[in-house]
Amino acid sequence: MYLGGRSLTVDVSNTFTAKPQVNVWYDLGKKVGLNVSAGYVVARPTLMIRSTLGTEERHLNADMFTVKFGAAYSIF
């Protein structure tokens, strides 16, 4: 559908992000360990859409939950 808009510009603001996180290490023995990490990333940028029809501003919620698992082995 053609609405008459001829040019389109999109800008996203640089947003402040925060990541509270928890790490847990568990030793299975003298040389082997396991790691579990969980965190929540908070990111809420602003999106500006400009065209010949006008300007629209949207606030985005780009938050995410992260979980990481790891293992470590010591050779010495």
Instruction: Determine the Cα–Cα distance for residues 46 and 32; give it in Å rounded to an integer.
Output: 45
pLDDT attached to residue 51? 85
Q: Global pTM?
A: 0.65
Residues above pLDDT 90, as percent of the chain: 70
User: Which backbone phi and psi does 58 adopt, to 5 degrees?
Assistant: -130, 140
The domains of the chain are located at 8-73
The 10s digit of each residue's pLDDT in 9-43 is: 889 888 889 999 999 999 999 999 999 999 999 99
Instruction: Determine the Cα–Cα distance for residues 13 and 48; give it in Å rounded to an integer.
Output: 8
